[in-house]
Amino acid sequence: MGMADQMVDKTLVVWAAPRNLNQRAGSALTLDDGHSHFDGIVFGEIAERRWMAGSDMYSRTNRDQSNWHSEGSKDFVQIAIVYRGKQVTLYRNGVEYAQYTLANPGLKFGEAVNVLFGRRHLDAKDPDNSFTGQIKDARIYDRALDISAIAHLQPGKLSGVKPWAWWSFADKGLIEQTGRFTEMSLIGDVKLGKEGLILGGKGATLLCRALGSGPTSKVPGQWSVTDAVPDEVVQASRQLRERLLADPTRPGYHFCVPEDQGMPGDPNGAFYANGRYHLMYLYNRTGSGFCWGHISSSDLVHWRHHPDAIGPGAGDDGCFSGGAFLDSDGVAYLSYWMLWGAKGIGLAKSTDSNFDHWTKSPSNPVIRSTEWGVTEMQGKGGKPIYVGSADPSNIWKKDGHYYMLTGSLAVLNKVGRNPDSPISEQGDRLYLFESDDLKKWNYKHVFYERNPAWTDRSEDDMCPSFLPLPSGPGGGSPSGKHLLLFISHNKGCQYYVGDYRDDHFFPDNHGRMSWVDNTYFAPEALVDGQGRQIMWAWLTDNPTGDRERGWSGVYGLPRTLWLGDDGTLRMAPVQELDSLRGKEAEWNIASVIPMLQGVDKTSCEVQTEWTVGASSQCGLNVRASSDGKEYTSIYYDAKTHELVFDATHSGGDGRTVVERAPLTLKPGENLKLRVFIDKSVIEVFANDRQAIGRRVYPVGKDSTEISLFESGTDHVLHHLVGWTMNPSNPY
């Protein structure tokens, strides 16, 4: 089966003997795609002594198992689970004992899948939730077997359809007999006996991976950061860096998650301290779970990597999005959404000078959920009210009190999406909490009132950032206004500008940073020592097969934000990016040739200035092929008063759409465009008032050209200059 033939229909078969019939939630065989999606043969997770089809968030699991066979033997038993379209069928020793229908077809798996024996999935960390017992034989078929084929299967013997993957532990040891899985990691109490693989529980797991093509490195199954570094690890680390440097989609000066999976990949926990900018990035750490990586910089361009700030443990199973706060005593705090289930909001703090070590609060959850992302409280007359306990904002301090906002998605899903939902529960909103000691937090009220003219009832408010807005791009004195950055999951990043008084926010105006989809997503911001407000956002449009690339997760350029004279938001790339400018090319605008020359056209900045007529469309085509079949158009449309990013001819992957951002030029105002190209990332800034950031994936190796885009005759080009941009990412 090649990568193009991804496996939906499949059969999982195992001959297993549980050592303890009362154990819960371990797996005898699991397929895991590395993105928190899995299917497995799980024992006793929902109902004691029942073999079930385990899956992420029970999405392919039948919860009603009351009439299923209850295992009463510790002897070897054959369990088979067949996925055929939307139908799942379970067999014990060749006899069907359960069948049910899914709402959607089963999950696709490709070559880059992980196989586990012991833990039910890669992110499972509770040591008690791993299978304890023996496994004689395990198989995966890339098709749905019928009952006759299943009944004729025997451990250690090949009959009928050839397995897609096959472990005959009792006969061949750890060798996977098709040759597909050649990397094995033994975690904890795992060993081989006469009758097969023996798993001792307490997290014991055999993890199997397919070894990729190209030069190979052997990596030890286990080693610790306190051990001597094996030569194989050095070799593999070097090989990974070289692989990432050779990736044509990996940007050179936009921040990238260094390795592993930034999905979701929200920027989090930004703060400024001791002359350094600190930024966290959410990623799914293989073998652990959702963690916050940590980087810092003195120039917003070159970043130092710190140990992960927070991750699973100390009362939670991982960490979702949140903010940061530096108190007056120099102690830094992170606010985050505790995973999984009905946990709530957690805090962690750091007191060391480099902020390398973070300790979770013993008071966690400081805001307790009553269900996933929701806290139920008693309102007037005993009527229940629901407030969010998800995606906390940055903390801020006022008059000796601490304040924090929480997001609304889970509440909206619970009470706001029905056609007859109260208007007060529809659409985006935030919830304000107050504390005197950062331990006990009291709910105050809804933070602002939604204006239906700006957002619709389908939109939530998550990943909020609430900070004072400076009066200029270089910071300086505050403007008196505040900026609320946030996302709605369906429409991406947006913002309100307004007044903060009496513990309420009163928006004056609203704007978006994503219009056609949600590619520009999950904002995070800080105020630095100059008084600048600086933000980042996650660009969600990852390429197909990002797991195989060894990384995913890219941020937009840091933007400085300030208040314009008209009371609306201004934005521009931070000035520090100028330090990356290398070779400069300024073209003679009186005789511009169709294809611009003189810069690295896959890593550059280009500036243009135009006088625009009433019927003009003018800008640039970038990442264009010589035959004209591939290109990305970036231009201003004077008829519609819009900045346009046309990706319909950008390549064979990604979101090939047209994004239009409103932009009305003032009388006599020239159009000033700054376009940044960085491999798969393209960002355009216009007149300090509008910007679009997206990703593109050209197919052709020659799709690198830059040319002028012009429609109409009533425009004049005044200025055209470009620079090669030097890379700043370490790899």
Q: What confidence tens digit (pLDDT) does each residue in 551-573 have?
A: 999 999 999 999 999 999 999 99
What do you get for the CA distance between the two ends of the chain, in Å? 32
> Lowest mean pLDDT: which of 196-210, 226-240, 349-363, 657-671?
226-240
Tokens 């052997």, located at residue? 218
Domain boundaries, the chain: 10-209, 281-573, 581-725
Mean pLDDT of all residues in 482-497: 97
Count, residues in the chain: 731
Q: How confident is the model at residue 590 (pLDDT cuts 50, 70, 90)?
A: low
The CA–CA distances, whole Å, from 645 to 11, 249, 558, 654, 659 equal 45, 19, 20, 14, 5
Per-residue pLDDT, 218: 63
Average model confidence (pLDDT) for the chain?
A: 92
Per-residue pLDDT, 103: 85
Query: Does residue 133 have a pLDDT over 70?
Result: yes
Per-residue pLDDT, 252: 97
Per-residue pLDDT, 214: 37
Domain 581-725 CATH assignment equals 2.60.120.560: yes
Per-residue pLDDT, 213: 31
* CATH fold of 10-209: Jelly Rolls (2.60.120)
Phi, psi (deg, nearest 5) at residue 474: -90, 10
The Cα 39–Cα 620 span in angstroms is 47
Phi, psi (deg, nearest 5) at residue 615: -115, 15
Q: What confidence tens digit (pLDDT) does each residue in 356-403 have?
A: 999 999 999 999 999 999 999 988 888 899 999 999 999 999 999 999
Q: What confidence tens digit (pLDDT) does each residue in 14-45 have?
A: 999 999 999 999 999 999 987 788 999 999 99
Q: How confident is the model at residue 418 (pLDDT cuts 50, 70, 90)?
A: very high
The Cα 473–Cα 484 span in angstroms is 17
Per-residue pLDDT, 221: 65
Mean pLDDT of all residues in 652-665: 94
Query: Does residue 527 have a pLDDT over 70?
Result: yes
Reduce the DSSP state of residue 157 to 3 states and report it: coil
Mean pLDDT of all residues in 614-620: 88
> Lowest mean pLDDT: which of 189-198, 216-225, 237-246, 669-678?
216-225
Per-residue pLDDT, 104: 83
Are the beta carbons of 355 and 278 closer than 8 angstroms? yes
Q: What is the DSSP letter of 240?
A: H
Spatial CB neighbours of 728, under 8 Å, sequence gap ≥ 6: 252, 253, 301, 302, 303, 580
Per-residue pLDDT, 614: 84
Q: How confident is the model at residue 531 (pLDDT cuts 50, 70, 90)?
A: very high
Q: Among 2.115.10.20, 1.10.3430.10, 3.65.10.10, 3.40.1350.10, what is the CATH number of 281-573? A: 2.115.10.20
**10-209 and 281-573: same fold?**
no
Query: Does residue 689 have a pLDDT over 80?
Result: yes
